[in-house]
Amino acid sequence: MNKLDTALVASALQDAGFELTESVKEADVVLINTCSVRRHAEQRVFSHLGHLKHIKKSRPDMMVGVIGCMAQRLGEELLNHDAVDFVCGPAQISQIAELIANDTQRKHKKPAITERIREKLTEEQNRALDDFECAYGIADRQIPGQAYVRVMRGCDNFCSYCVVPYVRGPEVSRPPAAVIEQIKKLAEAGIKQVTLLGQKVNAYKYIAGEKIYSLADLLAAASSINGIEWLKFVTSYPTEEFFDDILQAMAASPKVCSYLHIPAQSGSDKILRAMNRHYTAGEYLELLDEARKIVPDIAVAGDFIVGFPGETEEDFQATIDLIEKTRYKNCFIFKYSPRPGTTADKKLADTVPLQVKKRRNTELLAVQERISDELSREFLGKEVKVLVKGLSKKPHLNTAADRDNPQLLGRTAGDWIVVFNGPTSLTGKFVSVKITKTAPLTLFGELI
Ligand code: SAM
Ligand code: SF4
């Protein structure tokens, strides 16, 4: 979501006559796009701001803006920071060029955020956001050949630990016609993979008269667009609503990638209840069984939070048991971070000590690593189709000596990372790679 917002803002500013620079030293305007999901992410922003405050001493004309979820959450408090000139929330990003151009903003120091974040946006506000999205819903320059398309904004789920509903506002599904039009434009611009985004993307629901459009309808319509070869969607919420339809759409279209990112968050029913997740571990497993029945080769990824208030060793063991059964391709594990304003923070003390959270995090990662290792080995000797992202992250393997054949990185339809050598001209294209070696999260191979 944030990568998409960054790309939209960068495009809008370039349209308004700005140029992008990689160096803070050259920049007239510095924007920090922010995340509030965990405290650590917010702390890093403050440390960047400390650095910028220092630079501003010698360059007082440099403007600094904080955009995104932290801007919405902290508003005035951020504006009072010595380094900050303006603050712009997620619902105001369509005004970003104006905000920068508007000098009075600096004098008046008023944050551009939504005052009553849980109130539904007006039709006009929704349209402004949608127009912005459509105008700049172009290729995300960070990943050649790929683009993100938001299909839903906000969230109404109120998981007790989560700040998202308080910073991104109520759940809204975008009109299907706008989404499909945008994907067509992306295809014309050479985009091959589109990832549809929503906090609970499988709950996408747009009512037009008698017709209810679901994510399955979007996937079917997007599959018929020439040029689009892969469709992915994140993040799914474990609910039966629309679940079968979406999996049937996956099974029916070779373009819909057999990949599901479906966080469980915990394996303990007691903790799931306290998290306000509306399923039990058993129901979650049943959904995965159903998914594997309909799409046998489906790759599944998950998220977990360890050290949620009240999580005992027994609860944690239930999470380990769940991971053993689900056999995720990979999962993201987070230490519980209390977020101001959330129900968990208001009602439950952060009882699990940091040391225990760290230990559980490491233990869970080790279990997942073993499973990922077992699953990755199944690829040995096989050929996989890969969409090439670009140079791998190992700069020492991309030196002058390897200029014509550096180490490249891409992903399969099931989201496995594949590393191989080849010319950089393959970036943004599909290739076939024969897997010769595996690691828990990475497949290594040779270009065919
Ligand atoms: N909407 C998605 C869902 O329901 O799974 C994910 C949204 S959240 C931005 C991404 C992940 O961050 C969550 O799946 C959860 O594991 C983690 N997360 C959210 N709030 C957290 C918190 N307070 N502390 C630790 N991890 C958190
Ligand atoms: Fe947060 Fe839950 Fe909404 Fe995901 S579904 S964004 S975890 S409140």
pLDDT band per the 50, 70, 90 thresholds, residue 216: very high
Instruction: Report the C-alpha gap between 415 and 162 in whole angstroms.
Output: 26
Instruction: Report the C-alpha gap between 273 and 343 in whole angstroms.
Output: 13
Cβ atoms of 56 and 28 closer than 8 Å: no
Shortest-distance Cα residue to atom 1 of ligand 2: 162
Tell me the per-residue pLDDT of 300-327, one tens digit each, with 9 for 90 and over. Answer: 999 999 999 999 999 999 999 999 999 9
Ligand 2, pocket-test mutation among 200, 305, 332, most atoms within 8 A of CB: 200
Instruction: Report the C-alpha gap between 435 and 444 in whole angstroms.
Output: 6
Query: What pLDDT, on a 0 to 100 scale, did the predictor assign at position 226?
Result: 97
Cβ-based burial of 280 (10 A; exposed 0-12, middle 13-18, buried ≥19):
middle
The mean per-residue pLDDT over the stretch 74-92 comes to 94
pTM above 0.85, yes or no: yes
Q: Is the CB of 407 under 6 A from ligand 2?
A: no
Tell me the per-residue pLDDT of 226-282, one tens digit each, with 9 for 90 and over. Answer: 999 999 999 999 998 889 999 999 999 999 999 999 999 999 999 999 999 999 999
Q: Is the CB of 159 under 6 A from ligand 2?
A: yes
% of residues, the chain, pLDDT over 70: 95
Query: What pLDDT, on a 0 to 100 scale, did the predictor assign at position 396?
Result: 60
Query: What pLDDT, on a 0 to 100 scale, did the predictor assign at position 51?
Result: 96
Ligand 1 pocket by C-beta < 6 Å: which residues?
37-38, 161-162, 164, 199-200, 235, 237, 263, 265, 303, 305, 334, 336-337, 339
pLDDT band per the 50, 70, 90 thresholds, residue 408: very high
**How far, in Å, from the CA of 367 to the mean position of ligand 2?**
25
Query: What pLDDT, on a 0 to 100 scale, did the predictor assign at position 134?
Result: 86
Query: What pLDDT, on a 0 to 100 scale, did the predictor assign at position 264?
Result: 98
Instruction: Measure CA 45 to chain center.
Output: 18
Query: What pLDDT, on a 0 to 100 scale, did the predictor assign at position 387?
Result: 97
* Distant-in-sequence, close-in-space partners of 195: CB < 8 Å, separation ≥ 6: 146, 147, 148, 149, 231, 232, 233, 234
Average pLDDT, the chain: 94
Compute, in degrees rounded to 10, the torsion defined by CA atoms 330, 333, 339, 343.
Answer: 80
Q: Would the pLDDT of 47 be above 60?
A: yes
Shortest-distance Cα residue to atom 14 of ligand 1: 303
% of residues, the chain, pLDDT over 90: 88
- Tally Cβ neighbours within 10 Å of residue 58: 8
Residue with tokens 């699990």: 352
Ligand nearest to the CA of 344: 1
Closest CA to 237 of 268, 260, 219: 260
Query: What pLDDT, on a 0 to 100 scale, did the predictor assign at position 22?
Result: 87
Ligand 1, pocket-test mutation among 150, 287, 305, most atoms within 8 A of CB: 305
Residue with tokens 């060029």: 97
Query: What pLDDT, on a 0 to 100 scale, did the predictor assign at position 108?
Result: 58
pLDDT band per the 50, 70, 90 thresholds, residue 86: very high
Instruction: Report the C-alpha gap between 399 and 404 in whole angstroms.
Output: 10
Cβ atoms of 261 and 304 closer than 8 Å: no
Q: Is the CB of 157 under 6 A from ligand 2?
A: yes
- Going from the C-alpha of 50 to that of each of 45, 70, 93, 314, 356, the distances in angstroms are 9, 16, 24, 42, 31
Ligand nearest to the CA of 334: 1
In DSSP terms, 153 is beta-bridged to 172
Instruction: Report the C-alpha gap between 320 and 271 in whole angstroms.
Output: 14
Break the chain down into helix, strand, coil percent, rounded to 5.
40, 20, 35
Q: Is the CB of 237 under 6 A from ligand 2?
A: yes
Tell me the per-residue pLDDT of 181-209, one tens digit each, with 9 for 90 and over. Answer: 999 999 999 999 999 999 999 999 999 99
Q: Would the pLDDT of 400 be above 60?
A: no
Q: Would the pLDDT of 104 be above 80?
A: no
